Amino acid sequence: MTARLRVLILGGGIGGLSLAAALGQRGIAADVAEAREASSVLGVGLIQPGNALRALRSLGVLERCLAVGFSFEQWKLHDATGRFFGNVPTDLGSPAVPANNGISRRELHDALLDAAARAGATFFFGTTLAGLHDHGSHVSVTLSSGKSADYDLVVGFDGIRSELRCSLFGERYRTPSYTGHAVFRFMTERPSEVDGGALYFGRASKVGLVPLSATRMYLFAVTRAPGNPRLSPVTYPSRLRELLAGFGGVVAELRERVRNPDDIVYSPIEEVLLPSPWHRGRVVVCGDAAHASAPHLAQGAAMAIEDAVVLAELISGSDDIPTVLEAFMHRRLSRCRAVQEVSHTLLQAEAGVPVPAASDALHTPQNIERILSQPA
Ligand SMILES: Cc1cc2nc3c(=O)[nH]c(=O)nc-3n(C[C@H](O)[C@H](O)[C@H](O)COP(=O)(O)OP(=O)(O)OC[C@H]3O[C@@H](n4cnc5c(N)ncnc54)[C@H](O)[C@@H]3O)c2cc1C
């Protein structure tokens, strides 16, 4: 029965492609409508912690991600001068997966796109949603291309600015919350000493180094940015160089390479706190559309991939969509909230807001790894 379930995925980013792949493995060939053209991927690189790698393993793309990426076991901590002062131990690795894998967004996208295509998904690129009517028994959809079809389930993996979230839950959920912080990311050649994750703590900003492959890496710099300023890309190099000016060691060497705006991405740090449930009838939003978080745990894409794997698993066990979506919330809500809360706490801590004592907070930097070590 579930083999004939008709699923439309709105958004062919990390979560949407993961869901198409996971459903295809279970005999359900989904339709994927993606606003962008096939070849465009925005952004630089990603850190994939061990729980993301476990989910990618279930999609059959782990080996490819590890082959093109750069695995590392721990983060090394430094002060702004470059003086090493400790490691961040992690429990997210296992004999089957490393603790972390750095990977370019393009490589991850291509691996997921191939997996979804192999799994039988049909793609409509350059396509968005034009209209949707939930009849209770099914959902009638019209796409911007003019194509109309009926589906048993519509899944919005349409990202942090999800239109679907807004149309389901109202205008007040149109805009994500701005945290007052922003991040520059800069892609460059990898010096041999960048052989794992490294963090450098300055007074007004935090800098991170992430190896992405044998030859490439990215540097990120998180900083306060009151008022969410709109910056012209031509100013990116000078602004990033200014931010990095107080740092020593390898960061100072990398600063000398910061010249070309095309190598730099600037992103405001935003969050989405959509109350439960994330569905109305037969339409659900997942990934960033439902629970975008600050990137401080590097768990946003991980949570989107896990959402996809869990949803596909539940769909393959039942074709009763209301029951599936209820079970989905039960499996996903507290884990995604924990990631959001701890990511937010870490962001605030960097801004000088004291981290709550373990006894005052449900989820803390101390217990998040225990939660994420559990199956999704
Ligand atoms: C600075 C920064 C650093 C990050 N670093 C990490 C990291 O190291 N590790 C990690 O796990 N996560 C990280 N993240 C988070 C991660 O990028 C997101 O959580 C992840 O991409 C969410 O996946 P998604 O599928 O929900 O959304 P996306 O990957 O954003 O995909 C959404 C897709 O929907 C499409 N779309 C939008 N609107 C429509 C529409 N109306 N119709 C059709 N298609 C539409 C978009 O074009 C896009 O392809 C970071 C985020 C930021 C901002």
In which element (H, E) is residue 75 found?
Answer: strand 75-79
Determine the residue of 75, 143, 157 to mutate for testing ligand 1's pocket, defined as the one with the most ligand atoms within 8 A of the Cβ atom. Answer: 157
**CA 159 / ligand 1 centre spacing (Å):** 5
Instruction: Please tell me the distance between residue 288's alpha carbon and the centre of ligand 1 in angstroms.
Output: 6
Residue nearest to atom 52 of ligand 1 (CA): 295
Which two tokens mark 353?
């807001």
Q: How far does the chain reach from its first CA to its final CA, in angstroms?
A: 26
- From atom 19 of ligand 1, which residue's Cα is the shortest distance away? 300
Ligand 1 neighbour 141 (Cβ under 6 A): no
Gyration radius of the chain's alpha carbons: 21
Q: Is 183 in the pocket of ligand 1 (CB under 6 A)?
A: yes
Nearest in space to 59 (alpha carbons), one of 109, 107, 20, 3: 20
* CA dist 245 → 151, 195, 210 (Å): 54, 23, 19
Question: Is 16 close to ligand 1, i.e. is its CB under 6 Å away?
Answer: yes
Q: In terms of DSSP bridges, do strands 197-201 and 75-79 run parallel, antiparallel, or are they unpaired?
A: parallel
3-class state of residue 374 by DSSP: coil
Cα–Cα distance between 66 and 47 in angstroms, integer? 12
pTM value is 0.96
CA distances from 11 to 57, 126, 255 (A): 22, 10, 36
Q: Look at 38-47, 120-129, 155-164, 214-223 and tell me which has the smallest mean pLDDT.
A: 38-47
**pLDDT tens, position by position, 95-145:** 999 999 999 999 999 999 999 999 999 999 999 999 999 999 999 999 999
Q: What separation in Å is there between the alpha carbon of 41 and the centre of ligand 1? A: 10
In eight-state DSSP terms, residue 91 is: S
Give the mean pLDDT of 195-211.
93
Tell me if 10 CB under 6 Å of ligand 1.
yes
Number of other residues whose CB lies within 10 A of the CB of residue 259: 12
Instruction: Identify the DSSP state of 358.
Output: G
Query: What is the residue-averaged pLDDT of the chain?
Result: 94
